[in-house]
Every structure is written in C-alpha cells, then in structure tokens.
Chain A
C-alpha cells in the first residue's frame, strides 16, 4: 500500500489535469482548479520549509564558529528583521502604516528600494566584467565549430547595438542584415528543433508517469 497509493494518486491527478487541459468547464476543470490551488499551497509551505532549513544550517555553522560565521549571523539577523518589519507593518503594530496611502513611506519598501534593489543590481552588473575576462581567456578559434561560433557571436553582438565608431553605411547594413539572419533564421531553426525535441521528451516522460510505468519519483 505504501507504493500503490502514491502511484494511484499520481495517475489520478495526472489524468485529471490532462483532461482539464483539453476541455472547458465541468468536473475536470473544477478538479483541476482544486489541484492547482493545492499546488500553490504546497509552494507556499515550501517557502516556510526553506526558511526553516536556512535557519537550521546557518545556526549550526554559527555555533561551530565556521570561518564565515559573522556573515551567517548577519544573514539571519536581516532575514528576521525584514520579516518582523513586514509583519508589523501589515498589522499596523507600533503605528507603522503607510502615511497617506503612500507605500513609499513603508519601512519595508524603503529597505527594498534603497538597499536590496541597488545591491542586487550591482551584483548583476558585475557580470559585464566577468564576461569580458572570460571571453578574453576562453573564447578561442580552436576548431572550425569554435571559429563559426566566435564569428557568429561577434556579429550578433555588433548588430545588436549601434556601431561605437563611424563605419561605412554598407558595412553597417551588412552587419545588421547578417545579425537579423542569424537570429531569425539560424537561431529560430535551432531553437525550434530543441523545443520540439524537448517537448517530445517531456510528453514521453509525462505519459510514463500517468501510466504508472515511471516510478523514479518514488525513489525506485
């Protein structure tokens, strides 16, 4: 029964969702809505599990005086401080509410816009430097395929943006046309082949699951 019930539930839920996808209204749609609502609830619970796991792992490393323990302490402090501020504002504790309905005056939004957003944007912008260094060191014309990739990459990069220095109009037009051809013909054909192949794979795996053949999700 330990195996049969989960398999039966999987088959049942799988078929219900598939049926609902090809029909509108009726019992399959109602069941599908119910299952999707359960799915959203499971995701929300997963957030709590994630927080629990984060706290457990970091507390363990703080108590073991791991070399990075101060950062882990900061992580936990920020996690609970932000959570606390958010909960306090939602419930209006300490008189913490948005003044005149202006959400900009909320403490949690201030932290988000003035601290979190710039930090995240900074981290992402550093990619430009790492990509430059990686391209300089690793992008080599070692083989015919690598050379083709390199030339195509360079043309797409140039065609994507205006020319930094004045070049003859014919050259600029040729680069733009080649870039458009590479993206809309070569790239599209490749993407479609990959998408169709991957979708057939997903379809086959999905069918194996709803037919009860694939049981790897039960660690079998």
Chain B
C-alpha cells in the first residue's frame, strides 16, 4: 500500500497545474454575493462629497498584483469618476511604477489634471516612521512630487492640505504586508481620526476582522473581495474583450479567475482528504 511519502510531489504539482490550466481555459464569469465588508468599502467612497481629497497608499509590489492590482485600478476609477481628488503615496519601493502606469491610463479617461485632481508623491522610505511623518505633515515628508520633481507646494491640490492629515478625508491602503494597513492604523488612523479603507492579500485578511468597523471602515479581502468590489463599481458595464484594461473586462477576468480558484481550493481539499486516508491506512497497517 502506497504511503504519502512514496508519492512523488511532482504528481501533486501536475494535478494542480492541469486543474489550473483547464479551468483557466474553460472559466466562466459568474457574479459573487457581495460581503458586508466590501459593501462598506464601496459605500464609504460613495458617501464622500465630490472634491474631497483621499490619500491612496500603494503598499505592495508585483508579487501581490494578482490580488491587489484589480483593487487598485477599481479604486482609482471609483474615486476619479466621483470627482474625488487623490494624493498617491507608496511605502513599498517597487510600487511607484504601477502607480504611474495606472494613473497615466485612467486619469485622462475622466479628464483629470495632474496636480489639481491627483498628485503622485512616490515612495518614502522608513516604514512606520515614514507613515508617522506623512501623517504629521505631508509637505515635510515629501519635498517634491515624484512625477515632475517640482516642490509639492507648487500644486493646487496641496494648498488644501495641512498638518496632522488636515484636508484628507479618507486613507485607502492597498496592503500586501509590512509596512501596510496595520501600521497605517497605528500611526495615522486613530491618531488623526482619519477613516481608513483597505484591500489586502488573503494572508493578511484575517487580521482585519478585529479592526472592522472601528479602525477600518471597510476592506476587500484578496481576489474574492476584489471581484465583489469590481462588480459594484462596474454595475451596468459590459466587458470589452479587445481592451484588457477596461474595468468591466477586469471584472470579468477576475470572475473567471475565481472559477479557477474555486477548483484549486476544491483540489486542495481533496488532496488533504487523500493524504489523510493514506496516512491512517498506513498507520493501521503498521499497528
């Protein structure tokens, strides 16, 4: 009788690879029920008055892009289409190229002007310390913007900002770990009484339930949360297959990826059951 250790792990890799490949090719886009946490994230943004200023922090890198990038794109669309202005920062060094790319693509769709409707401040080293400095005074933390390398006080958007997060009505952190949402809550949220929203990777999501709704007004948990949020932001919009960056296309693509993930989770559970059956059989034979 075969035991678990007898089975070459490459068989497990092959099974998982085939399941992912087949379900990816034959994936279907299906609407998911929206959780209260995602709904709270969406409604918090919906309730902001036009012209408000929101700080959007990219606390991730390409390793987490599969989960966080759709959230990032959808949040930019959602904020800009509601005429909410964005101050964009990053606490991960590899984040700014993403920031630049998506703002370059999305802002012109809504006729938004750099420096007036959105501002890119870039990466600030220092983890929690940097967050504390941003909270205390944005103008002290960033001397120049990261796009045009001009003093940030030259931009109309910063004229409305003051120390202690003055002028910022909401902080949104898309977080893949440390530094991220938990540090923003500790350094800025409670201290300056700024509401916080977040989108996180699956690994970090369980941490957030303890902070909801007092310290974190809403959150998007992993690819599932991203898909549910995309559904809310793209209500009535249809997929444009030729345009992969169209938000409705991103939504449909995410929904198909959820189909892949469903099967991958199913196979994982099946493998655990098979592993346990082999283990207990082997043990009873030894006894």
Which A residues have a C-beta under 8 Å from some C-beta of B? 21, 24, 29, 32-33, 36-37, 39-40, 43-44, 46-47, 102-104, 108-109, 112-113, 116-118, 120-121, 123-125, 128-129, 131-133, 135-137, 139-141, 150, 154, 157-158, 160-165, 176, 183-184, 187-188, 191-192, 195
Q: Which residues of A contact B125 (CB under 8 A)?
A: 40, 43-44, 46-47
The residue in chain A whose Cβ has the minimal distance to the Cβ of B16 is: A132
CA A188 to CA B205, docked complex, whole Å: 11
Asked if A160 contacts B265 (CB within 8 A), the reply is: yes
Q: For the complex, is B164 an interface residue (Cβ under 8 Å from A)?
A: yes
Asked if B269 contacts A117 (CB within 8 A), the reply is: no
CA A195 to CA B269, docked complex, whole Å: 30
Contacts A39-B126, A117-B62, A191-B206 hold; do A109 and B100 have CB atoms under 8 A apart? Answer: yes
The residue in chain B whose Cβ has the minimal distance to the Cβ of A185 is: B209
**Nearest chain A CB to B182's CB is how many angstroms away?**
9
Q: For the complex, is B124 an interface residue (Cβ under 8 Å from A)?
A: yes
27 pairs, A vs B, C-beta closer than 8 Å:
A24-B164, A29-B163, A33-B136, A36-B132, A36-B133, A40-B125, A44-B125, A47-B125, A103-B100, A104-B101, A116-B62, A120-B63, A120-B94, A121-B66, A128-B16, A129-B16, A132-B13, A133-B9, A133-B12, A133-B13, A135-B272, A136-B275, A157-B268, A162-B32, A183-B206, A188-B209, A188-B210
Q: Which residues of B contact A113 (CB under 8 A)?
A: 97, 101
A interface majority secondary structure: helix
Contacts A37-B140, A191-B207 hold; do A140 and B276 have CB atoms under 8 A apart? Answer: yes
Q: Which residues of B contact A29 (CB under 8 A)?
A: 136, 163
The residue in chain A whose Cβ has the minimal distance to the Cβ of B4 is: A137
Interface residues of B in 144-158 (CB under 8 A from A): 147
Contacts A37-B140, A109-B101, A135-B272 hold; do A164 and B262 have CB atoms under 8 A apart? Answer: yes
Asked if A184 contacts B209 (CB within 8 A), the reply is: yes
* B30 interface neighbour in A135, A136, A162, Cβ under 8 Å: A162
Q: Which residues of B contact A163 (CB under 8 A)?
A: 262
Interface residues of B in 1-58 (CB under 8 A from A): 4-5, 7, 9, 12-13, 15-17, 20, 30, 32-33
**Size class of the contact patch on chain B:** 35 or more
CA A91 to CA B96, docked complex, whole Å: 18
**Nearest chain B CB to A114's CB is how many angstroms away?**
11
* A132 interface neighbour in B94, B126, B271, Cβ under 8 Å: B271
Q: Which residues of A contact B16 (CB under 8 A)?
A: 128-129, 132
Asked if A121 contacts B62 (CB within 8 A), the reply is: yes
Asked if A129 contacts B12 (CB within 8 A), the reply is: yes
Q: Which residues of B contact A157 (CB under 8 A)?
A: 265, 268-269
CA A43 to CA B91, docked complex, whole Å: 12
